[in-house]
Structures are given as C-alpha cells and as structure tokens.
Amino acid sequence: MKYSIPTHEFSFNKIKNGNRKIAVYLLDKKAQQIKLHDIIEMTNQSTGEKLSCKIMGIAIFDNFDDLIDSLGFQPLGYDNKKEVMIRLARIFPQEAQKALNAVAFFIKPIFERINNKLRPEIERE
C-alpha cells in the first residue's frame, strides 16, 4: 500500500539528505494501517516536493521519551534528546501525545534512477 503524509520542511530535508533514518509519528488510525514494506509518500508542506520511502521496520513505544531512549537521537537526525523533544512538542499536541502511543517507522528513501541505456540514443539526436 501507499500512504501520503504531509511532512514539515525541516524533517523532510533531513530524510531527503540521509540524516534521518526513522520517521516518528503518533500511532493514530492512519499510522496503524501502515505495514512493513508499504510506501509512504512524504510531501514537503512548504514546497510541495514529494519523497517516497519504503517501510523497512516498525517499532511502537508508550511515548516519545521511551522511543528516543531506545533508538537514540542520531537516527532521527538530531544532536541531542532535548532537541528532538522540542521538535516533537511543536508538531504533536500534548493531549495527543498523552492519548496515543509513539511509532517509529524505519525508512529507506526511494530515488528514481535514470535509465542509462537511453543516453546513446539521446546523444545521437
């Protein structure tokens, strides 16, 4: 299956640049539907740019604090735990954080490749 997820520009760029290997969300009804090997299409909320990522693993935690303690802050693209917690608090309302579990999707961006077999034909024209 393929799921579309709007993504903040800061997070989108960390994933696109390879600095973030894990996408973090609250385990709401939409996140509960995502399974191993599904595709999530992230859309940069500022630019509309899209990036498809394959789900390589899923881990569920009681809260973001436990998630970061278990997985670390580096795979999330940050320098320390405090920075991660501040960013997550800006994105996810406290009430929602208290009501829902946290989920970590281990992702692998899918970049389209140019078919090099066509290059000689293009150069001849």
Task: Report the chain's mean pLDDT, rounded to a whole number.
Answer: 90
Per-residue pLDDT tens over the stretch 52-91: 999 999 999 999 999 999 999 999 999 999 999 999 999 9
CATH number at residue 112: 2.30.130.30
Average pLDDT of the segment spanning 93-98: 95
Tell me: pLDDT of 120 over 70.
Answer: no
Strand pairing category for 2-7 and 39-44: parallel
Tell me: pLDDT of 43 over 70.
Answer: yes
110 is in which domain, residue-wise?
Answer: 2-124
Work out the pLDDT band at 122, boundaries 50, 70, 90.
very low
The SS3 assignment for 40 reads: strand
- Count how many domains the chain has: 1
User: Exposed, middle or buried: residue 18 (CB in 10 Å: 0-12, 13-18, 19+)?
Assistant: exposed
- CA-CA distance, 37 to 81, in Å (whole number)? 28
Average pLDDT of the segment spanning 90-110: 95
